[in-house]
Amino acid sequence: MIPKFLRSEADSAVDALLLQQVILYPTDTIWGLGCDAELSRGVEQIYKLKNRPAEKACIVLVADESMFARYAAVVPDNLPELLAAQTRPTTYIVPGSRHLASNLLAPDGTIGLRVVLDDEFCRLVLRRLGHGLVSTSANLSGEASPAMFSEIAPELVRKVDYVVSWRQDDPTRAVPSRVVRVLPNGTLETVRE
């Protein structure tokens, strides 16, 4: 049974995303800024909020292998095995597809995709939205990533369209995901452990 407050927060977040707004939310790792991964307007707003250089790409959270395949121009043959072997959230850098907002791709045409396996809030949002969810740390460019809500700069909190209340009081210090690049031969190259 999903707690009523959790469902309500997920519904409110999706309502904001459907209006092409930017949300501040707890990801399956750290606190992040997010928007619909298929719409350029939200992506543009996130870059402005963070003062982030356009060439520094964001990642996209996806609900499952099917959504991964929607946003990846090349899907690793062994994706099910990779996901099953994960011991922590892992972001896979792959060539991006035409379904993504054009301003979301890295200069080399790649995108970081992460299948959310264990986070109930993110899974609810992704299922209801039906699209990928942009995920970038909730900080100004160049500053430390916030592991807890209390570490987010108040001015950033004020500038987003919707702030998710779920897990704001969670004292657990989260860590960023592992990041790997999927090479053409299907092997993985570690970018961030």
The total number of structural domains in the chain stands at 1
Cα distances (angstroms) measured from residue 1 to each of 53, 61, 64, 78: 42, 23, 21, 33
The reported pLDDT for the residue numbered 45 is 96
The reported pLDDT for the residue numbered 121 is 96
The reported pLDDT for the residue numbered 184 is 83
- pLDDT higher for 18 or 87? 18
How far is the C-alpha of 17 from the C-alpha of 15, rounded, in Å?
6
Enclosing domain of residue 50: 4-192
Q: What percentage of the chain has pLDDT greater than the value 90?
A: 80
Q: pTM for this structure? A: 0.95
How far is the C-alpha of 95 from the C-alpha of 59, rounded, in Å?
12
What does the pLDDT look like over 164-175, one tens digit per residue? 999 998 877 778
The reported pLDDT for the residue numbered 170 is 86
CATH number for the domain spanning 96: value is: 3.90.870.10
Q: Is the pLDDT of residue 109 over 80?
A: yes
Summarize the confidence of residues 85-109 as an average pLDDT: 94
What does the pLDDT look like over 9-68, one tens digit per residue? 999 999 999 999 999 999 999 999 999 999 999 999 999 999 988 888 899 999 999 999
Residues in the chain: 193
How far is the C-alpha of 122 from the C-alpha of 120, rounded, in Å?
6
